[in-house]
Amino acid sequence: MLYGGIEAGGTKFVCAVADEKLQIKEKISIATTDPQTTFKQVFAFFDRYPIEALGIGSFGPIGIQPDQENYGHILATPKEGWAGVDFLGQMKQRYKVPTAWTTDVNAAAFGEIKRGAAKGRHSCIYLTIGTGIGGGVVINDEVFEGISHPEIGHLYIKRAAEDTYQGTCPYHKDCLEGLAAGPSLEARTGIKGEELPLDHPIWDLQANYLAQALMSYTLILAPEIIILGGGVMNQDHLLKKIQQQFSELMAGYMETPKAEDYIVRWGLPNESGLIGALLLAQREREY
């Protein structure tokens, strides 16, 4: 039995085929260009394998209500040419196998709870801090979806008094993504995040904004663990700052595990989404 998995991002699509133990047999990375060119390459890859189920974790926003016309489509993305693309429909038409469909970050949260840093838990939040900020939620062992998938990267947070940066979110300007995603580091300092000195004051601001968001997630959902991933989290010292600020902001109001055990780094670096997509494919066959 072979499963297919796709982690579809705005920069690249990672596709893999795995056996029933979820051992990956082959994996490729395809640049996300225009939809037609991208899907041609996706099909060329999966056409070579008799997959029996498929799992897709896609960049969003995406339509997730089966009774709506936009189900399976990519919705209002600023990524040129992709808004309105019927991603799921094209895949189902070609492969005619049970197919799981969710966001890349929901798939990542699922991967982390089954095989990564949240293993053994029944609820978690996964947050990626990279070019944007996106989050996935698992509750009671299931990816959580309501009228849409949660969009916890776009929360409003309290700005620091001295912070005059306008923010980069194309929809809200100074939401969390606008104020704290990777590009904001460079926009504020003129130095790429990767190259910023460890003692730069920006890291305290960055940690504060992320800690505020994690506090809101905790107050609203009380997940068992929060997992942080994405390029910006390659900064080792940042995790500790976030944990400290989180504890200070919570001020002992709500009992949580110790911050070091509660806010952790991803257990499947750069792979949570793909592994999650494969696990979701496997589950499609089992149920």
Where does this chain bind Zn ion (CB under 5 A)? 154, 169, 171-172, 175, 177
Residues 137, 147, 276, 212, CA torsion sign? negative
Among 1, 11, 33, 141, binds ligand ADP (CB under 6 A): 11
Q: Which stretch binds ligand ADP (CB under 6 A): 170-178, 191-199, 203-211, 252-260?
A: 191-199
What CA–CA distance (Å, rounded) separates 63 from 187?
32
Task: State the binding partner of 169 from Zn ion, ligand ADP, none, CB within 5 to 8 A by kind.
Answer: Zn ion
Task: State the binding partner of 81 from ligand ADP, Zn ion, none, CB within 5 to 8 A by kind.
Answer: none
Tokens encoding 120: 């053994």
State which residue, 17 or 232, has the beta carbon closest to ligand ADP: 232
CB of 266 to ligand ADP, least distance (A): 11
CB of 76 to Zn ion, least distance (A): 12
CB of 107 to ligand ADP, least distance (A): 14
Is 235 one of the binding residues for ligand ADP (CB under 6 A)?
yes
Among 4, 6, 7, 9, binds ligand ADP (CB under 6 A): 9
Is 192 one of the binding residues for ligand ADP (CB under 6 A)?
yes
Say if residues 166 and 184 touch (Cβ distance below 8 Å): no
8-state DSSP, 173 = B
Say if residues 249 and 218 touch (Cβ distance below 8 Å): no
CB of 235 to ligand ADP, least distance (A): 5
State which residue, 96 or 158, has the beta carbon closest to Zn ion: 158
Sheet containing 263-265: give its strands across: 142-143, 133-139, 124-129, 226-229, 263-265
Is 216 one of the binding residues for ligand ADP (CB under 6 A)?
no
CB of 178 to Zn ion, least distance (A): 5
Is 35 one of the binding residues for ligand ADP (CB under 6 A)?
no
What are the DSSP calls for 67-123, one per residue? TSTTTTBB-S-SSTTTTT-BHHHHHHHHH-S-EEEEEHHHHHHHHHHHHSTTTT-S-
Tokens encoding 223: 């997940």
What CA–CA distance (Å, rounded) separates 60 from 69?
16
Sheet containing 24-31: give its strands across: 24-31, 12-18, 3-8, 53-58, 99-103
What CA–CA distance (Å, rounded) separates 206 from 128?
14
State which residue, 13 or 246, has the beta carbon closest to ligand ADP: 13
State which residue, 233 or 278, has the beta carbon closest to ligand ADP: 233
Binding track over 112-131 against ligand ADP, x by CB under 6 A:
------------------xx
Is 194 one of the binding residues for ligand ADP (CB under 6 A)?
yes
Can you give the binding site for ligand ADP, defined by CB under 6 A? Answer: 9, 11, 130-131, 182-183, 185, 192-194, 230-232, 234-235
